[in-house]
Amino acid sequence: DAGITQSPRHKVTETGTPVTLRCHQTENHRYMYWYRQDPGHGLRLIHYSYGVKDTDKGEVSDGYSVSRSKTEDFLLTLESATSSQTSVYFCAIRPLDYNEQFFGPGTRLTVL
Amino acid sequence: DAKTTQPPSMDCAEGRAANLPCNHSTISGNEYVYWYRQIHSQGPQYIIHGLKNNETNEMASLIITEDRKSSTLILPHATLRDTAVYYCIVSQTGANNLFFGTGTRLTVIP
């Protein structure tokens, strides 16, 4: 494993509540990513970070915000969760001089 | 937009070679071909990538046609643990958005 943990691994919450997912790496890699995976869609990029306090949007960023105050942590926040955000969320990391991304174990989020 | 086309599913007998095809007819000259796989309920796992030459590592071989419009991932001796969804992705070096598509579900049969 590439030294990536995600927490929580499972969460059930109600519509309208805020939710924060955490991705933690021990590799000191510059790039970090948040994807969501839904049936029939594969993985889709939500946001990514290219350094501390440096983030950018992916293809499905609406309804999500991110923060990276330390190299090792990348947080994904759903300010007001909706049922359409029920999904499996994966974090990934990438070293600066590599093309490959290395993925965490995922967080299964259910919004009721 | 889908840049790659893969069959939705394939079966392979345990111990035999699994050959997974991928079409990428619109690939650009500076785009690489990457393969990842995702075993049930786990995060995707990088397998191999290449630009135009064939590549081999401890997991698999990647054969890219001379015109680069298609490629084949070869698992030389498939095991039950190779049962997974395999994704073929074309991307520029250092690109941040990998388009995974829906991949090929490979089932290795005992």
Is A39 in CB contact (< 8 Å) with chain B? no
**Residue ranges of chain A whose pLDDT lies below 50:** none
Peptide bond just before A8 cis, omega within 30 deg: yes
Q: Which of B85, B88, B87 is nearest to B68 (CA)?
A: B88
What confidence tens digit (pLDDT) does each residue in B56-80 have?
999 999 999 999 999 999 999 999 9
pLDDT in tens, B88-97: 999 887 788 8
Find out whether A45 and B89 touch, Cβ atoms under 8 Å. Answer: no
- Distances in Å between the Cα of B73 and the Cα atoms of A73, A109, B17 are 34, 33, 10
Q: Which residues in chain A touch residue B42, judged by CB atoms under 8 angstroms apart?
A: 105-106
List CB contacts (< 8 A) between A41 and chain B. Answer: 102
Q: How many CB atoms lie within 10 A of CB B69?
A: 13
Asked if residue A103 lies in contact with residue A4, where contact means CB atoms within 8 angstroms, the answer is yes
pLDDT at B22 over 90: yes
